[in-house]
Amino acid sequence: MDDAHLLTSANAGDDAALRALFERHAPWLAIRLARDLPVDAVEDVMQETFIAVWRGSSSYRGGPNAGGWVWGIAKRQSAKWYRDHGHRPDMTLLEESFADGCDIAATAAERIDMEHAIATLGPAGSADRETAQMIFVDDRPIAEVAERLGVPEGTVKSRVHRTRRLLQAALRPAKENGG
């Protein structure tokens, strides 16, 4: 049974479908989370992720890769764990923000130097990097980011738009960038 059918069944209350989703996605998810979370946090974040998958299964809109959807939930749960425990994750989680909806194996095979891409945002502590950290990694709402930075919400939205554009350009293969 494919992921879309499992999610539909889980939404209808089928515990076996949720268990099948867990068995299918938990191994790779644990590996990815372990890169950015303390070891003792991985199990907690995975548990919260699959609770959120179960609760949000009705919002899944199909598509060829439910793994990207599950990973998006896991990123948000990871960011929540960091907020709840008074830690601040580094920009490595940002790398995965651009992989949502992509084939996981292909994404891993086509990894590009993320440090270079993040460097396009300016030096550490710059407005664009701080905005990217809070929006993409900490998963904070625009209103909260605006308040924390002391700027209007429109400024945050402009920075997010510019940041996405810069990162997407930096993440394109060299031949697409004219190299």
Instruction: Delimit the domains of the chain by residue range.
Output: 1-90, 112-179
Distances (CA, A) of 51 to 46, 139, 165: 9, 19, 33
Residues in contact with 29: Cβ distance below 8 Å, sequence separation at least 6, in sequence order: 46, 49, 70, 71, 74
pLDDT along the chain (179 residues), means of 10: 81 84 86 82 88 82 74 87 73 47 43 62 86 77 90 91 81 52
Q: State the DSSP code for 74.
A: H
Tell me: domain 1-90, CATH 1.10.10.10, correct? no
Identify the residue whose tokens are 């199909």: 62
Joined together, the tokens standing for residue 37 give: 């979370």
User: What does the alpha-carbon distance between residue 17 and residue 19 come to, in Å, rounded to a whole number?
Assistant: 5
Give the pLDDT of residue 154.
92
Residues in contact with 116: Cβ distance below 8 Å, sequence separation at least 6, in sequence order: 170
Residues in contact with 109: Cβ distance below 8 Å, sequence separation at least 6, in sequence order: none
Q: What is the mean pLDDT of the chain?
A: 76
pTM of the complete model: 0.51
Q: Report yes or no: 96 and 71 within 8 Å, Cβ to Cβ.
A: yes
The CATH architecture annotation of domain 112-179 reads Orthogonal Bundle (1.10)
Q: State the DSSP code for 57.
A: G
Give the pLDDT of residue 171.
65
Count of Cβ atoms closer than 10 Å to residue 36 Cβ: 20
